[in-house]
Amino acid sequence: MAAMNKNPKVDEYLVNRNHPMNREIERVREIILSCHDKMEETIKWNSPTFVYKGNMASFFMNAKRHVSLMFHKGASLPDASGLLQGDGKEGRTARFADLQEIEQRKQDLESVVLAWIRRQDQELMP
């Protein structure tokens, strides 16, 4: 398991935001950040955003009854599990209703994150 690069700015943002699904958001953060020791997070577009050699995904903080995570280029990522939803040109969204669903879909989420990492490593090789 990789070290987690939790950003204190994201911690502060989430405390101040006081989202009704904060526990669930924290769990998704842990899963994503633990996928790779170079996965980082920041605040971008007024939202916690995960970054690995480019912007990977951002929480959609206006959703209150589920955790909504938008993968900016999710349409181009392999996802045999069907975790990523939507039919936009580039973006896809992963939604989680509760902690139980997050745990049930943990491997699916890790698979999508690792696919992004592999793609970024291949595309950005010298």
| Alpha-carbon distance values, 111 to 16, 54, 69, 99 (Å) | 31, 18, 15, 18
CATH architecture of residue range(s) 8-123: Alpha-Beta Complex (3.90)
Interval 32-64: pLDDT, tens: 999 999 999 999 999 999 999 999 999 999 989
Determine the Cα–Cα distance for residues 38 and 58; give it in Å rounded to an integer: 17
Each domain of the chain, given as residue ranges in start order, spans: 8-123
pTM above 0.75, yes or no: yes
**What is the pLDDT averaged over residues 84-94?**
95
The answer to whether residue 92 scores a pLDDT higher than 80 is yes
**What is the pLDDT averaged over residues 77-98?**
95
Instruction: Say what the pLDDT of residue 125 is.
Output: 62
